[in-house]
Structure 1
Amino acid sequence: MRELVFATNNTHKTEEVKQLLAGQYQVLNLKDIGCDTDIPETGNTFAENARLKTSFVETHYQMDCFADDSGLEVEALNNAPGIYSARYAGQRGDRENLELVLKNMEGITNRKARFKTVVSLVQQNQHYFFEGVINGTLREKASGAEGFGYDPIFVPDGYDITFAEMSMAQKNEISHRAQAMRKLISFLKSATL
């Protein structure tokens, strides 16, 4: 069975993908291949950051690999926090990042926002990209206890609850990351036929 590295240290994400690709690929994460490097995300786009991770694994480990980068883009904030979503308040901290977005949105009536994910895949020296986007609006106050990051203030279009008020299964049906991962998995399955 062919090996495929998911450039993440998140074991929960790794297990989800392992189940989806069972029988076709042996999915490994960074820990599995002995990589403890914090791969720098110095790109200017989600695609560039995702590709930096896959290129790192390809260069240093000579293995097929995929990685994702994602974030929140707020229309009234010129698509900020964008690629800086995880460190918008200066360093990593979900609560601080969320509070800064709410502060910067005070008094603004345009609440349109979207979550975006780009997955980069390098396979047999070829690079591929898969994108997922979900549009929505931002609440003025956080609500819900599920999810992470900006989930407590993001209401996807067509819903009246935030991502943080949804079950994980419900969010995973519609989320930006789920969309991009479904495209990746479809591509990988068709490539092994």
Structure 2
Amino acid sequence: MSTLLLATRNAKKLKELRRILEGRVTVLGLDDVPAFEELPETGATFEANAADKAEQAARETGLPSLADDSGLTVDALNGMPGVLSARWSGRHGDDAANVDLLLGQLRDVPDERRGADFVSALALAVPGADTVLVRGEWRGRIIREVLGANGFGYDPVFVPTESDEAGDARTSAQLDPSEKDRLSHRGRAIEKMLPHLLRLG
């Protein structure tokens, strides 16, 4: 089985990818390899940030490296928070503060204008080869209160279109992990990337 480095210290992202790729690819995280000074995220797009992270990890470790840059784009906020999703409140990775700020910004926005997309850009960098980029998107809407304990980030306020169409209006944080893996932006991006990952071995 081939080995892949996921260029992240986000334990929840690592767990999600390991679950999706179980039995097909061995996935390591940055805590499993010798430390190096990680570049800041300065790209204007999800794809640019993902490529920068994957290419640096491949250079530093010599391992095939996969990086994800993902976030939420909200129609009423002209696509923001976008690449700033993880630090929208000013503190990187503070999920509760980010969600609180988002809900505050949308307080007066009517339900019909609360559309949003989760976006995941994946970059695969293999030493000596061109970087492969794919993108997955998941359409939905932002509700007015936090619901559900699964997932992370903006999951508790995001109701995917599939959930609305099924008539149950569950948030991403209320979905079963296997259901989320199948529907989500990251799951869709991984499916696009999978042929490239399976060729690593």
Q: Which residue of 1 aligns with 2:180?
A: 171
Between Structure 1 and Structure 2, the one with more strand by share is 1
Q: Which has the higher contact order (CA 8 A, sep 6+)?
A: 2
Q: Which residue of 2 aligns with 1:43?
A: 43
Matched, 1:112 2:115: yes
User: 1:65-104: per-residue Cα shift (whole Å, max 9, x none)?
Assistant: 1110100000110111111111100012101100111010
Q: Which amino acid in structure 1 is aligned with residue 130 of structure 2? A: Q
How far, CA to CA, are the matches of 1:46 and 1:176 in structure 2? Answer: 13
Q: Is the 8 A contact 1:67 1:120 kept in 2?
A: yes
Instruction: Structure 1 unaligned segments of length 5 or more: list them.
Output: none
C-alpha displacement of 1:57: 1.5
Percent identity over the alignment is 33
Q: Is the 8 A contact 1:21 1:185 kept in 2?
A: no
Q: Which residue of 2 aligns with 1:52?
A: 52
TM-score, length-normalised on structure 2? 0.85
Q: Which residue of 1 aligns with 2:152?
A: 148
C-alpha displacement of 1:18: 5.4
How far, CA to CA, are the matches of 2:21 and 2:31 in structure 1? Answer: 15
C-alpha displacement of 1:3: 3.7
Q: Which amino acid in structure 2 is aligned with residue 99 of structure 1? A: D
Q: Is the 8 A contact 2:36 2:60 kept in 1?
A: no
Matched, 1:158 2:148: no
Q: Is the 8 A contact 1:30 1:36 kept in 2?
A: no
User: 1:1-43: per-residue Cα shift (whole Å, max 9, x none)?
Assistant: 6543221233524633652524xxx433222221253442111
Q: Which amino acid in structure 2 is aligned with residue 153 of structure 1? A: V
Q: Is the 8 A contact 1:130 1:183 kept in 2?
A: yes
How does 1:1-193 map onto structure 2 within 5 Å?
2-9=2-9, 10=11, 11-13=14-16, 15-16=18-19, 19-22=22-25, 26-92=26-92, 93-109=94-110, 110-123=113-126, 124-159=128-163, 160-189=169-198, 191=199
RMSD, aligned CA: 2.0
Instruction: Structure 2 unaligned segments of length 5 or more: list them.
Output: 164-168
Q: Moved runs in structure 1, 4+ residues, more than 4 A?
A: none
